[in-house]
Amino acid sequence: MMFCISIVCLIPVGLIGAVNPIIALSAYAVLGVMYLLVVPLFLFYWMNNRWNVMGKLERLFIYGLVFLFFPGMVLFAPFLNLRMNGKEES
């Protein structure tokens, strides 16, 4: 009975002692995959498609996101080619 009361008292504070470690580890894994894989790939895609038409504020926002997600960007940088297409010879 005392355990149930202590859990109820600690819920508003966010200090629940009986958190399932599987849930915590899976949350860390999901956040890690998002931080290192999903968002950097989206940023590379966005920059590749909109490089020549971005406005000043959009470019500033994208550069801020590149700074924020830099470790994931470094992971993919050796494998992605973001060079512009040259003029085709006719």
Whether residue 12 is predicted with pLDDT greater than 70 in this model: the reply is no
The Cα–Cα gap between 56 and 60 comes to 6
Q: Are 41 and 69 in contact (CB under 8 A)?
A: no
Give the type of residue at 3: F
Is residue 87, in this structure, part of any structural domain at all?
no
pLDDT digits (tens, 9 = 90+) for 36-89: 999 999 999 999 899 889 999 999 999 999 999 999 999 998 888 777 676 766
Q: Across the chain, what does the average pLDDT equal?
A: 82
Cβ-based neighbour number of residue 35 at 10 Å: 14
- Domain span including residue 51: 2-76
The Cα–Cα gap between 34 and 69 comes to 10
- At residue 81, the pLDDT reads 77
Is residue 56, in this structure, part of any structural domain at all?
yes
pTM: 0.69
- Tell me how many domains the chain contains: 1
